[in-house]
Amino acid sequence: MAKLNIVLLEPEIPANTGNIGRTCVATDTKLHLIEPLGFSLSEKALKRAGMDYWKDLDVTTYLDYEDFLEKNPNAKIYYATTKALKTYTDVQYEEDCYIMFGKESAGIPEEILMEHKENCVRIPMINEIRSLNLSNSVAIVLYEALRQNHFDHMQLQGQLHNHTWE
């Protein structure tokens, strides 16, 4: 069964993290938060964005990037960045991989990117745009990874309330 992982390196905006948390709950994806965080995990904005789903979230926090690496020594990590040479559709996401996103104001530090340049991916955009919203970026890349893993264990068909599909 595919069990993907989203990693947020020093996220700053609680609403983004709340939205990402809700997406993780909806996809049975684990969320990893690397400190320092730009907010408290008890903030109302975070819980409002995650709605009542936050209590169902599988989330782990880490003191820093090194702590994350030490506690996940075998992690296959993809680094989502606007600076990558490859697009997010150019790689094959393993069913238990980690997809890391940097903080809203600066992204992932270039030193980390250079150490892992073969695993850096980007979402194509026109030149005039600096970046997409973090929660939108997570959803785009996560759903591509889920698609590549055939949406394993996910509900593929919806249901109408007052009618039936025929």
Per-residue pLDDT of 22-76, as tens digits, reads: 999 999 999 999 999 998 887 666 666 656 788 899 999 999 999 999 999 999 9
Residue 38 known to bind ligand: no
In angstroms, the Cα distances linking 50 to 5, 59, 77, 139 are 17, 13, 25, 14
Report the chain's mean pLDDT, rounded to a whole number.
92
Domains and CATH numbers, the chain: 5-148 (3.40.1280.10)
Residue 16: pLDDT band by 50, 70, 90 thresholds? very high
Q: What is the pLDDT of residue 125?
A: 93
Helix (H) or strand (E) segment spanning residue 7:
strand 5-9
Q: What is the pLDDT of residue 54?
A: 81
Per-residue pLDDT of 108-158, as tens digits, reads: 999 999 999 999 999 999 988 889 999 999 999 999 999 999 888 888 888
Q: Does the pLDDT value for residue 5 go beyond 80?
A: yes
In angstroms, the Cα distances linking 125 to 82, 83, 131 are 9, 11, 8
Q: Does the pLDDT value for residue 96 go beyond 90?
A: yes
Residue 131 known to bind ligand: yes
Mean pLDDT across the stretch 81-100? 96
Residue 123 known to bind ligand: yes
Q: Does the pLDDT value for residue 21 go beyond 70?
A: yes
The burial of 25, by beta-carbon neighbours within 10 Å (0-12 exposed, 13-18 middle, 19 or more buried), is given as: buried
- Classify 61 as helix, strand or coil: strand
Q: What is the pLDDT of residue 166?
A: 76
Amino acid at 116: H
Q: What is the pLDDT of residue 93?
A: 97
pLDDT, greater one: 3 or 88: 88
pTM assigned to the model: 0.93
pLDDT, greater one: 60 or 159: 60
